[in-house]
Structure 1
Amino acid sequence: MFARSCMRTSRAFSPVNIAKRAASTSSGASAEASAARLNVAAAASTAVAVGSVAWYYHLYGPTAQASAPAEEGLHSADYPWVHQQFLKTFDHQALRRGFQVYREVCAACHSLSRVPYRTLVGSILTVDEAKALAEENEYDSEPNDQGLIEKRPGKLADYLPDPYPNEEAARFANAGALPPDLSLIVKARHGGCNYIFSLLTGYPEEPPAGAQVGEGLNFNPYFPGTGIAMGRVLFDGLVEYEDETPASTSQMAKDVVEFLNWAAEPEMDDRKKMGFKVLALTSVLFAMSVWVKRYKWAWLKSRKLVYDPPKNLGGH
């Protein structure tokens, strides 16, 4: 076999092959020119793509967020929310205070229709407190033998009641404006916690000079269009906290924002705990897989290849 390969090599350098390569020199030159043009085009397109990404990064920063009406208003500051850190959980005392602010201030207009009483147990209220709170409201029971629907006290499986019986009643009570449901408001608004906190604390004493506010609206620079139907609702000392925390406007806004963040994702603490367990387990499994791979492939990685030519070519 080695002799045959040598003979093929000798034929490759024959005058015939040299003549053929000489005849195809012109076609090879055109092929090289075409390949060069393709390389230049690829390099140019790559440069344009990288330049576009760099320019977009320069204009809008590292976070690419979808366009939203909230961008028309003043952008809220980025506050250091502790519960958003990877190894931090909700401040459950703050959640309890925030739920109190919601009940005494926000619940008069805004619903929390996706939150049942049972989710409050263990995070905000005790079992007895949640049951007592549910029994303060009445809910429709199953039809009886005569087909009549009677009222019954609430239970843990029921959801927090709406302040209005229907949308029309809500609009009539708020001069045509519909107060949004707050169950997922943190996820539904551009900016999340930062936007809601800035909105609640962003009402000035008087609109700035030159600001045009529609009839029946209130000026708030963080709201799209700066005209919002909801007036300022948080004032110093409005709520008396059970733990005697000073109820300033910013403190109440901070507490209710944390509560609304919990309402939007009550599973956050469990999700972080499970994520930490997954990372720890996968790290161990990855280390074991690397060790097994090195053990199984050691014979292949450590082998030595030696070329042993034939001693006698047999006259070929």
Structure 2
Amino acid sequence: MARIIGFFVGLGFVGVLLFSLVVNGLDYFRNPPEPTAAHEFHKHPRDAELPSAGMMGKFDRAQLQRGFQVYKEVCSACHSLKYVSFYQLHDLGYSEAEVKAIANQWATEVPSINPDTGEAATRKALVSDRFPSPYANETAARAANNNALPPDLSLITEAREDGPNYVYSLITGYADQAGYKNDKGEELLKKFPDAATPQGLYFNPYFANLNIAMPPPLAADGQVTYADGTVATKDQMAKDIAAFLTWTAEPTLERRHSAGWAVLLFLAIATGLAYLSYRNIWAEAKRKVAPRGPLDPENKARMDAAKAESGIAG
């Protein structure tokens, strides 16, 4: 009895869900949602053309070091890298002495405990430490950024769709909202007069809702002086930081690509060998057990001979 009641209760739930789906679907098609400024004027990321992109992608160590320099001198004042340790900088081509110096000279010290008093304190970073956050906690971070919380950048290229290109486009995508037009030639503030960017925010068509709390991080060419002599244009710095943040999110990208190609090669060879084995082992067996019907000339002749020898008519 309980099963029958449960069946009908479940059937009732399914019926309600189907009814809701049909009603809401009809309402959506009869009264489609009004277009929004974010939908009409949001831009998809541009291609940063990073060396790490694609199935054959590899990191450019010089570019990664430049990107780290941009993070250190521009981004680290607000954004953390809480999943990256100083020792991982060895992968960028830095020597052990250079990594120790970077950790020791990092602007933000690591939270610690005073062994003599037991009170909270700070200390110089060690190679084994992760990059310390520029803020003590979320409240301090919001207080310093007009109540906006700067996201951690460790996995930002994985957390955003088309991550590396998104980072590159966002950094270089700040624009003047006055007179801004989309690809159709429509002017934003004429089509959506209420879409004016609020005070304290900045217009950026690559951001989801067009208005972002972060001011343009790269304000002018030459904001960073590269040690390798590369000209530090805004476009170059944006590509470099996008490459560096791709590495922080996927430091094993090159090994993963190499392993993937090795596996594909192994599977291709194994498939070829399996097919050749199949042909060699089973092809002859198939011929031996090939079906022969009663009307086959050879079978018919043998059957007639056997019948004559046995004296069977027909």
Q: TM-score, normalised by structure 2?
A: 0.71
User: What code does the residue aligned with 2:278 have?
Assistant: K
**SS across alignment from 2:110:** strand
Matches of residues 113-124 of structure 1 in structure 2 within 5 Å? Answer: 113-124=82-93
Q: Which has the larger radius of gyration?
A: 1
Q: 1:146 & 1:169 partners in 2: Cα distance?
A: 25
Q: Match for residue 169 of structure 2?
A: 198
User: What code does the residue aligned with 2:201 have?
Assistant: L
Answer whether contact 1:207 1:219 (CA < 8 A) is retained. no
Q: Match for residue 254 of structure 1?
A: 239
For residue 85 of structure 1, report the CA deviation from its aligned partner.
Answer: 2.2
In structure 2, stretches of 5+ residues that fail to align are: 1-37, 181-188, 190-194, 293-298
For residue 122 of structure 1, report the CA deviation from its aligned partner.
Answer: 2.6
Show CA shifts across 1:60-85 (max 9, x none).
xxxxxxxxx89972222344333112
For residue 107 of structure 1, report the CA deviation from its aligned partner.
Answer: 0.5
User: What code does the residue aligned with 1:258 have?
Assistant: A
Q: 1:142 & 1:302 partners in 2: Cα distance?
A: 82
Q: Match for residue 309 of structure 1?
A: 303
Q: Does residue 233 of the first structure (1) align with residue 227 of the second (2)?
A: no
Q: Match for residue 278 of structure 1?
A: 263
User: What code does the residue aligned with 1:213 have?
Assistant: T
Q: 1:305 & 1:142 partners in 2: Cα distance?
A: 85
Answer whether contact 1:71 1:224 (CA < 8 A) is retained. no
Distance 1:145 1:221, change over 3 A: closer
Answer whether contact 1:111 1:181 (CA < 8 A) is retained. yes
RMSD (Å) for aligned C-alpha atoms: 2.7
Q: 2:312 & 2:113 partners in 1: Cα distance?
A: 103
For residue 133 of structure 1, report the CA deviation from its aligned partner.
Answer: 1.5
User: What code does the residue aligned with 2:46 have?
Assistant: A
Q: Does residue 86 of the first structure (1) align with residue 32 of the second (2)?
A: no
In structure 1, stretches of 5+ residues that fail to align are: 1-68
Answer whether contact 2:41 2:205 (CA < 8 A) is retained. no
Matches of residues 1-316 of structure 1 in structure 2 within 5 Å? Answer: 73-137=42-106, 138-140=109-111, 152-205=123-176, 207-208=178-179, 210=189, 212-234=196-218, 235-303=220-288, 306=292, 307=299, 308-309=302-303, 311-312=306-307
Worse-superposed segment, 98-107 or 72-81: 72-81
For residue 159 of structure 1, report the CA deviation from its aligned partner.
Answer: 0.4
Distance 1:124 1:171, change over 3 A: farther
Show CA shifts across 1:271-295 (max 9, x none).
0111111122222222221222212
User: What code does the residue aligned with 1:97 have?
Assistant: R
Show CA shifts across 1:96-140 (max 9, x none).
000000000001111111111122113242222112212235435
**SS across alignment from 2:267:** helix
Q: 1:192 & 1:293 partners in 2: Cα distance?
A: 45
Distance 1:77 1:275, change over 3 A: same
Answer whether contact 1:72 1:224 (CA < 8 A) is retained. no
Distance 1:204 1:149, change over 3 A: closer
Q: TM-score, normalised by structure 1?
A: 0.70
**SS across alignment from 1:108:** coil
Q: Match for residue 4 of structure 2?
A: none
Q: 1:176 & 1:147 partners in 2: Cα distance?
A: 32
Show CA shifts across 1:153-205 (max 9, x none).
42222100111010000000011111111111111113312222111111125
User: What code does the residue aligned with 1:248 have?
Assistant: T
Show CA shifts across 1:1-52 (max 9, x none).
xxxxxxxxxxxxxxxxxxxxxxxxxxxxxxxxxxxxxxxxxxxxxxxxxxxx
Q: 1:244 & 1:191 partners in 2: Cα distance?
A: 30
User: What code does the residue aligned with 1:163 have?
Assistant: P
For residue 315 of structure 1, report the CA deviation from its aligned partner.
Answer: 5.3
Answer whether contact 1:218 1:229 (CA < 8 A) is retained. yes
% of aligned pairs identical? 40
Answer whether contact 2:113 2:122 (CA < 8 A) is retained. no
